[in-house]
Chain A
Amino acid sequence: MDAHALAPEEHFIRNEPYYQPIGNEIAIFEAAYRHRLPVLLKGPTGCGKTRFMEYMAWRLKRPLITVSCHDDLTASDLVGRYLVKAGETVWVDGPLTRAVRVGGICYLDEIVEARKDTMVVIHPLADDRRTLPMEKLGQLLEASDDFCLAISYNPGYQSVLKDLKQSTRQRFVALEFDYPAAELERKIVANESGVDPTMADKLVKFARMTRNLKGSGLEEGASTRLLVHAGKLINGGIDPVTACRSAVAQAVTDDADMLAAIQELSSSVF
């Protein structure tokens, strides 16, 4: 299939994404959506937050506009800016504005990474005003009823600099995500990567070992996503220990000692 370009607001998800609910998060999200409440997803990386958003977008049949926040992301990156075209300045909507206009779901991934001034534009959207101030245009954009704001952050990064302010977090309905329970995770890994259940079981066992290392030299254990990667490699004929090294160990750390320890864990499990 050739790659083809899509405007963000046309990004409808046509096929049902594979998603295994961990609890009642689907019902909560739907209820929040119906009542036009913004949603905050908490959880470690690779535990299914983004997949959940895709699934909900498919369920609610709304376009999904995802913005991955980085530390240089400013308010104008979200709202829009003037650009110069043929000697004139032209206003171009940012992704948030587009979502507000068409009534899509705007998902701001890893919101704590963004600059502080982005919060100023999110706040009025996230309470009952549901408006987007567009300072440079001198306009106030009212969100359509279909619009939904979702943000995510990872409370595992224990940095003072990367914390959500109370004024922000208290505007959202919070959904907590964690790595799925062992049985469920096994099912997900088997389904997503195509490995057999015994291999999936070993992968999950290995992942839980790396998660035990969190806090003693490892920032974060192996996520479900990494397990799926490893599973796909194994399915492609790579030896399990090698697959775990490339897909998991190298992904979670650069520290030579830690790499060796994780390698020893995987060579023990398989």
Chain B
Amino acid sequence: MASHLRSAAEITELLESWLEADFSFRKVGPTAEKLATLAAEDQDFILDWVRRVASSNLEVAWQFARRAPALVGSMDRRLMEAWVLGACDVYDRQGLRHALTVMEEADQWVGNLASRQLEMTAGVLFDEIAGVLGNFVRGLSGRRLTLEQGKHIHTDTDKLYLPGVLARFPSAEDNFKLAKAMATLLWAQTRHGTFRADLAVACAGFPDPARALGQLHALETLRLSARIAEELPGLHRDMERLKRELGEGLPAGWERFAERLSTPEANIEDSLILLGDAYQLPDFIPWCYQGELRPDAVAAAFAARREKEKARLRVKLAELLDEQSRHRETGASAEPPDDKTFEAEVDDEDGRLDLELTLDGQPIAPPEDVKQLMTSIYLDFGDIPPEYLVPAGDGEYDASLLGEQRADPDAVWQGTYHEEGASFYPEWDMGRQHYRKNWCVMREKDVTPVFDGFHRETLEKHAGLVKHLRRAFEAMRDENRLLKRQAYGDDVDIDALVEAIADARDGSEMSDRLFVRTHRAERNIAVVFMVDMSGSTKGWINEAEREALVLLCEALERLGDRYAIYGFSGITRKRCELFRVKTFDEPYNDEVKARISGIRAQEYTRMGFAIRHLTDLLKKVEARTKVLVTLSDGRPDDYFDVYRGQYGIEDTRMALLEARRAGVHPFCVTIDREARDYLPHMYGAARYVILDDVAELPFKVSDIYRRITT
């Protein structure tokens, strides 16, 4: 877009074409006039976003265009982008109606501004602070809490919810401090036992339970603020400053509560005792960092956690006991393990939480996971109940309570749709010039192995080639070798020494490279093969792919490179599937051979998610060089979806750029003759090979691999 001041007429024309005003009867005139009064830079900014959002939804774009001129002077750019992107995300996930409510939230913003002097506000976004605050909260001790974005600021004792945007203060720094204070107060609720009493029951006795909960929340905030002042004085100073700036303080009548609740021994029971008096006072106006109390969310999280943690702790204790008795057996007295008792002692003092576990009076050091479990249980109950410390008997619990439940990925389409156990990946939307969050629902599945003679037949069919490949790949192996004439080494290099002495006698300069050293070369490569399993590969191509994989495995086994093989396919964003053929840890065994044989053509070619997931896998592998090789037969494509065409190519290109940023070298082998149109754009000029004939695939793939890794 050219950067010049546009007239109202020009803007009207642009808006009409983007928003399809002819069909929708949107009156763009007044908005265009408002836009025309803005600076060229602001016009560009707003119009650019209108165009981008219009590629997703016209109504959202229109609502944005209407509101933007009023906001652009008081909202900082970053915040405005976050607002409109947030609306797009909500549109993606929940539809138009919810997206429009997000748009309307901005009206409230304008209302807020009226009460404050007009100044630029730099808010903080959840995504920017989640990483830092997440680690901050984990550092504070207690249960491992996670941070999530939510509309209401509260905790369910497993997760802390903070809003998507915080903009109470003009500076980003203060807004961050506010978010930190919010997170800390929520943490303090879990850490100092706000939820050890049933708050819903406690408030039910009052004429207006909701109001009672509000006053109780105020009492708890007083109590916990005192704890924070004690434990985290630096943060407390910031919290006090934030309140002062907003003119918040302790209302009349609350001083005596604050005093009662500021002793280190005060707990939730004290707050409940004071609630009767506090209920008589006028409503406590919540402090800026106070958030909400949600007893229902807490009860749900607690119910989900209780049995699981009990089972896990008891099973872990049984394992510990087993280990202990095995240690003893080497000694003389092998007592029967039945009459042993575990005892736990909790030292919760001065902000520290120390847990000790004893077995018949003997202290034992619990492993980290047991410590975590005990901490979590302690936070719920205020101690570790004795029945939790009885080691589990054999088979007392079934595995479902112990591990994380994993839903069967195949069940998704047989019954009701669920997203349990799936991973989510973003997708690049070229129109919006931004990611669609959690767009692809990805599952890893196993290829059904087919135990036939495919592996043997392939080796027989290509016997000559196999022999050649083995030899070629063996030659690539970097062997340990003795380096001569080194300046430093394990042994004297006699040849070099004789020469050097001769040189010295001769009067010339003597070399100091007189040693031999063994050089250990390690070929340190990890490679993932990403095999196209789309419907179009059916028949010949599938056959050639499988043969190529067999030959490749034979070659790679010689070389000793770590490798994994995954097939990819899918139908729509809700069903993106990666098929495990061989993982990094698996040896090349009969099962893997049978899985290669079992590779069958499936659905469509959505590629972005596969590249992103396999890049994540490669990131976890320790290797100096990481390679991602794609075997494909055509361009990215999906069923009745925008993915067909340019959108898919742009998303794939973006995924490949991400891979490259993560230090993965992508490479593509394809048999699509038209690939020259799009592959250079996706992979870069020298990172792909096009085969003219399917039959070449088995011969060429190993050869290509050899070329790109040496």
Contacts and interface: CB of A to CB of B under 8 A. Distances in A.
11 contacts: A76-B491, A81-B490, A136-B491, A213-B135, A241-B234, A257-B131, A257-B135, A258-B135, A261-B136, A262-B139, A267-B234
Interface residues of B, number: 31
A74 B486 CA distance: 15
Given A209-B140, A216-B144, A241-B234, A82 B491 contact: yes
Given A87-B501, A87-B504, A261-B132, A213 B490 contact: no
Interface string B377-415: 000000000000000000000000000000000000000
A217 interface: yes
A269 B232 contact: yes
Interface string A38-77: 0000000000000000000000000000000000001110
Nearest to B349: A182
A82 B492 contact: yes
A225 interface: no
Contact of A215 (B140, B368, B491): B368
Given A82-B491, A205-B352, A268 B235 contact: yes
B150 interface: no
Interface string A73-96: 011100001111001010000000
Given A76-B490, A258-B135, 8 more contacts: A89-B492, A212-B141, A215-B368, A257-B135, A262-B135, A264-B180, A269-B231, A269-B234
B184 interface: yes
Contact of B138 (A83, A205, A216): A216
B214 interface: no
Interface string B497-516: 10011001000000000100
A212 to B, nearest CB: 5
A267 B133 CA distance: 13
Contacts, number: 80
Contacts of B492: 82-84, 89
Contact of B139 (A75, A81, A159, A212): A212
Nearest to A214: B368
Interchain residue pairs A-B with the least CB separation, the first 3: A261-B135, A268-B235, A268-B232
A213 B504 CA distance: 61
Contacts of B131: 257, 261
B233 interface: yes
A266 B140 CA distance: 11
B490 to A, nearest CB: 4
Interface in A176-229: 181-182, 205, 208-210, 212-213, 215-217
Given A205-B351, A208-B352, A241-B234, A265 B139 contact: yes
Contacts of B140: 209, 212, 265
Contact of A265 (B134, B136, B352, B622): B136
Interface residues of A, number: 35
A216 B135 contact: yes
B147 to A, nearest CB: 11
Contacts of B180: 264, 268
A159 B620 CA distance: 12
Interface string A248-270: 00000000011011101111111
Nearest to B353: A208
Given A212-B139, A257-B131, A84 B497 contact: yes
A215 B369 CA distance: 11
B234 A261 contact: no
Contact of B132 (A84, A212, A257): A257
Nearest to B228: A268
A87 B503 CA distance: 11
A261 B232 contact: no
A75 to B, nearest CB: 8
B233 to A, nearest CB: 7
Contact of A217 (B133, B135, B184, B491): B135
Chief secondary structure at chain B's binding surface: helix
Contacts of A89: 492, 497
A82 B493 CA distance: 10
A213 B138 contact: yes
Interface in B10-25: none
A41 to B, nearest CB: 17
B501 A210 contact: no
B139 A270 contact: no
A209 B132 contact: no
Nearest to A136: B491
Nearest to A181: B354
Contacts of A210: 139
Interface of A: 74-76, 81-84, 87, 89, 136, 159, 181-182, 205, 208-210, 212-213, 215-217, 241, 257-258, 260-262, 264-270
A212 B574 CA distance: 37
Contacts of B354: 181-182
B501 A267 contact: no
Nearest to A178: B365
A266 B135 CA distance: 13
A213 B514 CA distance: 50
Nearest to B142: A212
A185 to B, nearest CB: 11
Contacts of B514: 84
B132 A260 contact: yes
Contacts of A264: 132-133, 136, 180
Interface string B93-136: 00000000000000000000000000000000000000111111
Contacts of B232: 268-269
A267 B239 CA distance: 12
Contact of B141 (A82, A209, A266): A209
A261 B147 CA distance: 14
Contact of B234 (A81, A209, A270): A270
A138 to B, nearest CB: 14
Contacts of A159: 622
A53 B558 CA distance: 47
Contacts of A215: 368
A267 B139 contact: no
A69 B117 CA distance: 64
A221 to B, nearest CB: 9
A261 B133 contact: yes
Nearest to A213: B139
Contacts of A208: 141, 352
A215 B367 CA distance: 14
Contacts of A258: 135
A182 B351 CA distance: 12
A270 B79 CA distance: 32
Contacts of A212: 138-141
Nearest to A260: B132
B19 to A, nearest CB: 40
B622 to A, nearest CB: 8
Contacts of B136: 261, 264-265, 268
B345 to A, nearest CB: 14
A164 B55 CA distance: 59
B250 to A, nearest CB: 22
A240 to B, nearest CB: 9
Contacts of A182: 352, 354
A51 B138 CA distance: 31
A64 B514 CA distance: 32
Nearest to A211: B139
A255 to B, nearest CB: 9
A81 B501 CA distance: 19
A81 B488 CA distance: 11
B491 A81 contact: yes
The CB with the most chain B CB atoms within 10 A, among A74, A75, A209, A215, is that of: A209
Q: Point out which of B140, B141, B233, B234 has the most chain A C-beta atoms below 10 A from its C-beta.
A: B234
Contacts of A261: 131-136, 139
A215 B352 CA distance: 20
Contacts of A81: 490-491
B511 to A, nearest CB: 11
A215 B184 CA distance: 21
A182 B135 CA distance: 22
A261 B133 CA distance: 6
